Amino acid sequence: MTEITALSAPELVESYRNRSLSPVEATEAVLAHIAAWEPKLGALYAFDPDGARAAARESEARWLKGAPCGPLDGVPGTIKENIATKGVPVPAGTAATKLVPAAEDAPPAARLREAGMVILAKTTMPDYGMLSSGLSSFHQLARNPWDLRMNPGGSSAGAGSAGAAGYGPLHIGTDIGGSVRLPAGWCGLVGLKPSLGRIPINPPYVGRVAGPMTRTVADTALMMSVLAKPDWRDGMSLPPAEIDWLAIDGQKLKGLRIGLMMEIGAGMVLAGDVRDAVQAAAKLFEAEGAIVEPVPAILTREMLDGLDDFWRARQWDDVEKLAPEDRAKILPYIRAWAESGAERSGLQVVRGFNQTMVMRRAAAELFRGLDFVLSPTAPTASYPADWASPVNDPEKPFEHIGYTVVWNMSEQPAVSVNCGFTAAGLPIGLQIVGRRFDDLGVLRMAKAYEDRRGAQRPWPQPPA
């Protein structure tokens, strides 16, 4: 019998429907799992077992009446700390934030709650979400369940840890340069960065999205059926669309034109084991009749450095407003990076921001003759848990985001799905990128790969 904590969201919902399992039983199993994992993992913030139990009892009563409140009713899951939930402070990962309870649920949290998800906790993140790491001045250090010495990635660090450790099947993060896909890749999860505006979010920003982080494509699709509903609070959201998010099976691969982007263009050198795993994944598509052809990287050093200039100044705009005693509480790596934004001239910052437009044009030109693009999610596998990034240098903060950040700026959907493991047993992510607005197409491609990849190796078990 499959352990309860290994069941997908569709499997849990079906078990509630046929009464072979109740939401209370599922929630208790996950809470026990968390008790075994969390002292070593550090994935959670505002953990609320009593609230989860109460929500599970309410869900159980609805299922007994045959009247679930939504497609996620009774399914346990988590929400990233920077997605507001009513009554819970939003520290944004930093000790510099004044802790004030949120007045209302942000759009993604509201949709998940309305659909009946049992909210177990928020998940940890680094200061201001500006690291691909679980390192934070406010939260405990998040670790990777596949190897507790290693980093889960970030900024959706706790979400990656929680998903891989089995803290329920449903988790949501945010992504402005790779913060859903990078931890998903390093933790062996499915992580979707949807088209900008597909999931309403508050506050919205250039390139910023919320996205599911789950163990299976089916889980991600089920979450999207809820998360993509409209919300007036996001002035950058897309018009409501009738999308059958559960129609993820049956993707035809024959004749598809797929670009294979193996080089990053700027930043870290691609590791050999990552290269081999992604090329093997591409061959599975090719074997089914897809036309897979190498394409050059579209990221340049000028693009990456320009974005760094812009983001430093953007972060300094927040940090500069803090009292000196509060500014001193920020993680030193991030504080030094943000303070350097004061040294950028206005012209330098504008030129940096304009590189986002250059990225958009390059992405549009690339996709003129392609249906999808395959690439590594990251140039390397995970790195030490207490590092801020794979190179751990605040002067080179974005050397690892070249495969992911372009698609935030071009507003295209991109998903990371596990495509193998290193010799040390660390997950490797394959990124599948689609045309703007073709979020369902990206999920169908991920499901096609998931089906052909075969069973993933067993998920890590709680430490003794």
Exposed/middle/buried for residue 454 (C-beta within 10 Å: 0-12, 13-18, 19+): exposed
Give the mean pLDDT of 142-151. 98
Cis peptide before 155 (omega within 30 of 0): yes
**CB–CB of 231/237 below 8 Å?**
yes
3-state secondary structure of 310: helix
Give the confidence band of 456 by pLDDT, cuts at 50, 70, 90.
confident
Q: Which of 136, 155, 382, 416 is catalytic?
A: 155
What b/e string do you get for 327-351 counting C-beta neighbours within 10 Å, with b at 16 or more? eebbbebbbebbbbbeebeeeebee
217: left (phi over 0), alpha (psi -120 to 50) or beta: alpha
What pLDDT does 2 receive? 67
Residue 264 has pLDDT above 80, yes or no: yes
Residue 1 has pLDDT above 70, yes or no: no
Q: Distances from the Cα of 352 to the Cαs of 69, 175, 462, in angstroms? A: 46, 19, 44
Q: Distances from the Cα of 403 to the Cαs of 222, 268, 312, 400, in angstroms? A: 26, 10, 20, 8
Active site residue 155: yes
What pLDDT does 299 receive? 97
What tens digit of pLDDT does each residue of 297-312 get? 999 999 999 999 999 9
The whole-angstrom separation of Cα 333 and Cα 424 is 28
Sign of the alpha-carbon torsion through 157, 163, 165, 168: positive
Give the mean pLDDT of 220-240. 97
What tens digit of pLDDT does each residue of 67-110 get? 999 999 999 999 999 999 999 999 999 999 999 999 999 999 99
Average pLDDT, whole number, for the chain? 97
What pLDDT does 5 receive? 96
Q: Which of 15, 22, 59, 80 is catalytic?
A: 80
**CB–CB of 394/418 below 8 Å?**
no
Give the mean pLDDT of 118-133. 97
Q: In whole angstroms, what separates CA 172 from the centre of its chain?
A: 7
Give the mean pLDDT of 308-337. 96
3-state secondary structure of 59: helix
What pLDDT does 273 receive? 98
The whole-angstrom separation of Cα 228 and Cα 243 is 9
What tens digit of pLDDT does each residue of 347-387 get? 999 999 999 999 999 999 999 999 999 999 999 999 999 99
3-state secondary structure of 122: strand
Cα dihedral 199/221/459/85 (nearest 10): 30
Give the confidence band of 454 by pLDDT, cuts at 50, 70, 90.
confident
Give the mean pLDDT of 125-153. 97
Q: In whole angstroms, what separates CA 87 from the centre of its chain?
A: 24
Residue 7 has pLDDT above 80, yes or no: yes
Which token pair is 66?
A: 């045959």
Percent residues over pLDDT 90 in the chain: 98
List the one residue out of 139, 173, 162, 125 whose CA is nearest residue 38: 162
Give the mean pLDDT of 109-138. 97
Q: In whole angstroms, what separates CA 202 from the centre of its chain?
A: 17
Q: Which of 15, 161, 179, 410 is catalytic?
A: 179
Give the confidence band of 407 by pLDDT, cuts at 50, 70, 90.
very high
Number of neighbours of residue 395 by Cβ within 10 angstroms: 9
